[in-house]
Amino acid sequence: MQLVVDVGNTETVVGLAAGPTEMAAHWRVSSVVPRTSDELTVLLRSLLAGIGRDGSGIEQGVIGSVVPSSTFVWKRSLEEITGGPVVSVGPESALPITLDVEEPKSVGADRIVNTLAARELYARDTIAVDLGTATTFDCITADGVFMGGVIAPGLSAGLEWLDRRTAKLPRVELEPPSSVIGRRTETCIQSGVFYSAVDAIDGTVRRIKGEWQRPDALVVATGGFVKILGPHLGTVDRLEPFLTLYGLAMAGRHIAGRG
């Protein structure tokens, strides 16, 4: 059993991994709220208690973080919960993947573990589309080579921009609109933001396939907005909400020498 933590800019996803592709439980907590390691420890104990567990039986913690200021705090908290080692995944981690890009040390932990998960789960050329604060597109070969990709603003960016830059437009919920043509201001905004994101993602995937010359690449969508956007994406073959957590669990086992 591993406690895996994907620290993102907006949300942190915590998973209790019973196996490389088996999440016994998972939770989302805010990354924006500053917390001390003691506060995180109390929070994690409460989440585990909610499913009738404590720290016993958890072999190690695994962290993949794109927020350096939060990494140390999460590491201290996981050490307290598990009483064992905590693995922090990064570009120099000993994993069976290759980062074939100009600046491999700048590749985020989420993209690293997505590459590992795609290699282990699919063993074919894959485009991993991670729908989070940013929308990232990762080009991953069948044998686990990360070739680069695309980073674009996420779904919430359009709503936040309109909220900040306009005086009279209201802030609306992130949800699929009932129709493309809105009949009032709120539904016009929902439609504009939602379908701009959908068409941008599908268009980017098509461009990647053409430039990469991989027309048959598997397209897998993951991330916090996958349930909202995923069903509306015409280029996506598979929805896998836990791809990053699976990758963290796999990375933890590899680094611990358990393959």
Q: Report residue 184 as tokens.
A: 């009032």
Cα dihedral 19, 20, 26, 32 in deg (nearest 10): 140
Helix spans in the chain (H): 37-49, 68-82, 109-122, 155-165, 185-212, 226-229, 243-255
DSSP string, 33-55: S---HHHHHHHHHHHHHTTT--S
User: Which residue type occupies 181?
Assistant: I
CA–CA separation, 177 and 68 (whole Å) = 36
CA–CA separation, 115 and 128 (whole Å) = 8
CA–CA separation, 169 and 182 (whole Å) = 14
CA–CA separation, 29 and 12 (whole Å) = 5
Q: How far is CA 171 from CA 67, 73, 158, 195, in A?
A: 27, 33, 11, 17
CA–CA separation, 165 and 158 (whole Å) = 11
Q: Any residues with CB less than 8 A from the CB of 229 and at least 6 apart, and which?
A: 131, 155, 194, 197, 198, 201, 221
Among 38, 54, 100, 110, which one carries the catalytic annotation? 110
Asked about 125 being catalytic, the answer comes back as: no
Residues identified as active-site: 110
